[in-house]
Amino acid sequence: MTDLPILRLKPKMDPRRIRFGYPWVYDNELVMDRRSKAIAPGSLALLEDAGREPLGLVAVNTASRIVGRVLDSADVTELTPEWFTTRIARALSLRETLFDQPFYRLVHAEADGFPGVIIDRFGDTAVIQPNAAWAEVHLETLTDALVQVTGVTNVLKSAGGRARGLEGLDDQDKVLRGSAPEAAVPVPMNGATYMADLTGGQKTGLFYDQRPNHAFAAGLARGAKVLDVFSHVGGFGLAALAAGAESALCVDGSQPALDLAIQGAAQSGLGDRLTTRKGDAFDTLAALAEEGAQFDVVICDPPAFAPSKPALEKGLRAYERVARMATELVKPGGYLGLCSCSHAADLEKFRQVSIRGIGKGLYQTGRSAKLIHTGFAGADHPIHPQLAESGYLKALFFQL
């Protein structure tokens, strides 16, 4: 017997999906009676099927569409400090196998056994995004375990982003241990040095997920003129320069992000080959075309145009427009990289609109395109086998 509250599947709900590892239980799959609705956000509960057979330990948030997040088997009734340290140690072991320096995504939510939790590591500083109510409730224990296992001295809470709003959580950043870095943190990747703003930047400060795609693009860019659109802190541009690109132009709407790209280029000894241009990406693409600009490699890595299903059609049109406009800037024989981090736009949909956009961009030119590579997030962003949404990042590389 357990003192935990009970969540029960509706009679017509097949429990096999949960038994086979699916980590989410939605509000419309559960008997949401008065007792279920009274469970406090972030509490633990025992999930049962309609026949009262236990299915697992879940974290509950009745304010979310995802009412239950599966944490462990049904015989686990509490989250002890050892529960946290064991899982963090497992996650750390994988990253230390993959990387020789402590700069990576340490915890990638469900795939690492921490539903809704992101932890990025920047040397002796870690940034936690507790994007689920249960993680907020157990944040102190999670932080203690993180420090114990990894030895980091500074732990920051990043509370921005859409996910916390969907969970009904606050947007207040916080220093959990140690202190926040007073300046941007240098991060070595793909032969370049990136500058990560851990307190004022986007997300946790840097996008580790694109690391292998930066590397692939850099391999195409030796001796090339490169255009990096939606560049943030210079992701593709700096990697290309480190690999021997002749020049890189980084375009972004954020001047602070471009300033970090300039700092990163200087730190990498590449400052004389980097230029930046602040502005709306679509306006800048149009202006470059009007100027007759041409590049050997063009990369577009926009924010999530389709973060949810209601935004899908509008987002797909935006991706198609990016592909069409970018195509016009690629020299014959050059390369075009198109990226999407939208959960709602799966690989097939993204590929279709990208190809359609390229087709429109090449119309009446006599040129053709071929898809030469499809990239995904790095191995420090593992995909939960039952959760297609965790494979959000897609990168398509074409030769035109």
pLDDT in tens, 154-167: 999 999 877 888 88
Helix or strand run (H / E) with residue 215? helix 211-220
If we measure between CA atoms, which residue out of 83, 72, 90 comes closest to residue 23? Answer: 72
The structure tokens listed for 214 are 């930066």
> Residue 398, Cα to own-chain centre: how many angstroms?
23
Q: Do the beta carbons of residue 68 and residue 30 sit within 8 Å? A: yes
d(CA 387, CA 154): 31
d(CA 237, CA 251): 10
pTM over 0.75: yes
Residues above pLDDT 70, as percent of the chain: 99
Q: Indicate if the pLDDT at residue 236 is higher than 90.
A: yes
Q: Which domains does the chain have, with CATH numbers?
A: 6-72 (2.30.130.10), 81-177 (3.30.750.80), 185-399 (3.40.50.150)
Q: Indicate if the pLDDT at residue 40 is higher than 70.
A: yes
Q: Which residues pair with 330 in a beta bridge?
A: 295
Task: Classify the C-alpha dihedral 66-69-74-80 as positive or negative.
Answer: negative
How many C-beta neighbours within 10 Å does residue 304 have? Answer: 16
Confidence tier at 309 by pLDDT (50, 70, 90): confident
Average pLDDT over the chain, rounded to an integer:
95
Q: Indicate if the pLDDT at residue 379 is higher than 80.
A: yes
Q: Indicate if the pLDDT at residue 204 is higher than 80.
A: no
The structure tokens listed for 99 are 């990387």
pLDDT for residue 5: 95
Helix or strand run (H / E) with residue 144? helix 139-150
If we measure between CA atoms, which residue out of 98, 140, 106 comes closest to residue 123? Answer: 106
Q: Do the beta carbons of residue 263 and residue 184 sit within 8 Å? A: yes
d(CA 121, CA 292): 42
pLDDT tens-digit map of 343-368: 889 999 999 999 999 999 999 898 99
pLDDT for residue 2: 66
Q: Are strands 247-252 and 274-278 parallel, antiparallel or unpaired?
A: parallel
d(CA 350, CA 395): 9
Q: Indicate if the pLDDT at residue 389 is higher than 90.
A: no
Q: Do the beta carbons of residue 371 and residue 397 sit within 8 Å? A: yes
Q: Indicate if the pLDDT at residue 177 is higher than 70.
A: yes
Q: Is 312 helix (H, G, I), strand (E, B) or coil?
A: helix
